[in-house]
Structure 1
């Protein structure tokens, strides 16, 4: 085994990764002070995936890191194969580490005859043999209840707040939620940034048209204020870009966008680069290739948070204590 770290239970810690985001896995391994488990993974001509661990994982507490980036279905299934391989190789405990959890936005039925896709993903991980799930900023916290086992729900807020705090005059900050549904998150942000006022963008969404919403107006006073627009993810960037424009048109002095997951699909980089935001801050829960990067984009490392959480789980510590009770 590549790791020599042994926990209180006497089992070694092993970290392995699929092909979705190997850079993040390397950073997490460095933070932990372990080597990544050698993994052979490739696709056959008919697109079937093959996975094999290069060394024994018998009796190990294994953490299988795979962020569900595009192509999401391929990487989810590759993680399922790794979980199954670990189970059949007699691993002691198996944790599926999914920095970005695929299908998290499909957590309920908005219309009749729809699946609850997020529940299906957790069921698949259960069936494959995962004992535990670790993820960062789930789109909706109730997804934790879909998995019949421990779920470590990590918050990127401390990392984002620490950075944003250095970029603003804290006496002039208004935290803005992109919609009424995320006001609670905005309240937590405001408390961390000194208790300034809140605002939210009133928007309408057509559930029959994916990635489409309309930002109508700002509810709250943003005139002359330095605003922080906070969300959990940015996909095509349309909603956030329009929200920035609405906030600026309402008289805001500046807008910084802060989000955990930079999905950045399709036109997102151009939309965000041209929307008027002073800075767009995300973490590297997902890989962001050079072609998607733009001058006002700032990418923060999530590896220290994931590594610390893995240490807490491995040493039977408290993950909740990492977030002052806000996890």
Structure 2
């Protein structure tokens, strides 16, 4: 790599940054973050970045609001330090689910995040598996969205005999996304049919579209938050005669007591990527992590050199 590239780690996921830097063959750029007694944040870039191509890596994870402010302040500091180009690398995009106005008098917060990143001075964005692909259209700067499906599929093929597996979408809305996995793994698809009995009631599973009896089910989703929907789908599939249930998701949000719920559930395993760091204080032997660092490293190298990243979608 040329000597005019700098990679900065925010406080959200330094381990991922170190892995990316290792693949690229550079050292992380030195920065200093200070939190004052009034909860204000100071970010200082401790290396020369004048006329440099800078990549700031900061996925959205707890504490979310602090991470967003740190990212915006870092980008602003880089622009005032005369960085030539600043790319915000957001493996998990903040507020990605808030992509439409589906209730009165609410914010389309994903669009607000796009506006804030542009106002801070970001020249482009690199992200992964947006919950809603239309979020790319909220930006007026280039946005590259990578997909973790190839990496997760490679992991599944290497660690399992997939002959008797069926891929399962937790609802109709996930059916389109699951196609990327079905094509790569050459597996059949089933869909959990959910219905809503009333305006204020939670959707409930009522049927399975597809053949699952006697098969090993693999539930595929873009993220796991509280784990409630995943656990519900697991129990529903077991009632319909599956041999076992596993899951695969890109973003391991795992909020609240999600890890405890997964540990106590009938799920045999959950494959996730490392777009978000797992909480070390609550380990779970059922969770398998495959790293997306090589994919992000290749994308950063392609962006820096001006070459196409289309080959990364393989």
Is 1:174–1:198's contact at 8 Å kept on the other side of the alignment? yes
CA distance change for structure 1 residues 204 and 172 in 2, over 3 Å: closer, same or farther? same
Alignment partner, residue 267 of structure 1: 257
Q: What residue is the counterpart of 1:44 in the other structure?
A: 36
| Residue segments in structure 2 that go unaligned for 5+ positions in a row | none
Residue 200 of structure 1 pairs with residue 191 of structure 2: yes
Matched, 1:231 2:221: yes
Per-residue deviation at 1:169? Answer: 3.2
Distance 2:195 2:77 in 1: 45
Aligned counterpart, 1:12: 4
Q: Which moved more, 1:265-274 or 1:122-131?
A: 265-274
3-state SS of 1:271 partner: helix
Deviations 1:250-298 (A, max 9, x none): 1111222000010111110111122212210111111112223211111
CA RMSD for the aligned pairs?
A: 1.7
1:163-209 alpha-carbon deviations (Å, 9 max, x no partner):
11234433322111111111112122111112x32111123579979
Secondary structure, counterpart of 1:287 in structure 2 = coil
Does structure 2 retain, via aligned residues, the 8 Å contact 1:178–1:240?
yes
> In structure 2, what is the Cα distance between the partners aligned to 1:47 and 1:15?
26
Corresponding residue to 2:68 among 65, 71, 76: 76
Question: Which one of 50, 53, 63 corresponds to residue 55 of structure 2?
Answer: 63
- In structure 1, runs of 5+ residues without a counterpart are none
* 1:245–1:166 CA distance, 2 compared to 1 (3 A): farther
Alpha-carbon distance between aligned partners in 2 of 1:204 and 1:273, rounded to the nearest angstrom: 28
- The number of aligned residues is 313
Q: Give the corresponding residue for 2:303.
A: 313
1:297 aligns with 2:297: no
**TM superposition score normalised by structure 1:** 0.92
8 A contact 1:242–1:275 mirrored in 2: no
Question: For residues 1-327 of structure 1, what are the structure 2 equivalents within 5 Å?
Answer: 5-6=1-2, 12-194=4-186, 196-204=187-195, 214-324=204-314
CA contact (8 A) 1:16 1:39 kept: yes
